[in-house]
Amino acid sequence: MIDVTRWSRLFAGRPQSIGDARAFARALVVDRASDALAETVELVVSELCTNAVEHTASGEEDGKFVLEVEMQNGHVRVGVLDMGAQTRPTVSNQASGADVTSGRGLFIVEAVSKSWGSEPVRVGRRVWADVVGMPV
């Protein structure tokens, strides 16, 4: 039998909500996964939520985003549904320079995740990442 647990929560599209989203995700996985996996999930949540707030309509006045967390046997899928943007999310070619101060979000997500992707949804776009670790 496959044991899948899913949670989701709506957040205001403000920079302050990113910390709330990180805390929400960490509280969900900390007792169900290794510390390393919980930290990686928290990092991925931070990067994806930051992208939603900074690069999509979710960051506009009255904007919102939804954080989804799904766990299954040491595997965590993080998804963020935003309110859409003019462009699709991509990994920046310039994200690795020492003097770069932005554009590293998806570069980091790609580095710490098994896989990531995005898909259009009715209200905007869903960006997701799969993080794999060992269950506790």
pLDDT in tens, 45-104: 999 999 999 999 999 999 999 999 999 887 899 999 999 998 888 887 654 554 444 567
In CATH terms, the fold of domain 4-132 is: Heat Shock Protein 90 (3.30.565)
Mean pLDDT of 17-30: 95
Torsion 96-35-24-32 (CA) sign: positive
Q: pTM of the entire structure?
A: 0.88
Q: What is the pLDDT of residue 94?
A: 57
pLDDT value at 128 more than 90? yes
| Amino acid letter, residue 67 | L
**How many whole angstroms separate alpha carbon 25 and alpha carbon 20?**
9
Q: At 135, phi and psi to the nearest 5?
A: -65, 160
Average pLDDT, the chain: 88
pLDDT at site 92? 72
What is the domain partition of the chain in residue ranges? 4-132
Residue 134: predicted pLDDT? 53
Q: What is the per-residue pLDDT for 101?
A: 46
The rounded distance, in Å, linking the Cα atoms of 110 and 91 is 8
Please give the backbone phi and psi of residue 85, each rounded to the nearest 5 degrees, phi first: -150, 170
Burial letters for 89-112: b for 16+ Cβ neighbours within 10 Å, e otherwise? bebeeebeeeeeeeebbbbebeee
Amino acid identity, position 128: W
Cα 83 → chain centroid: 14
Q: How far apart are the first and last CA of the chain?
A: 18
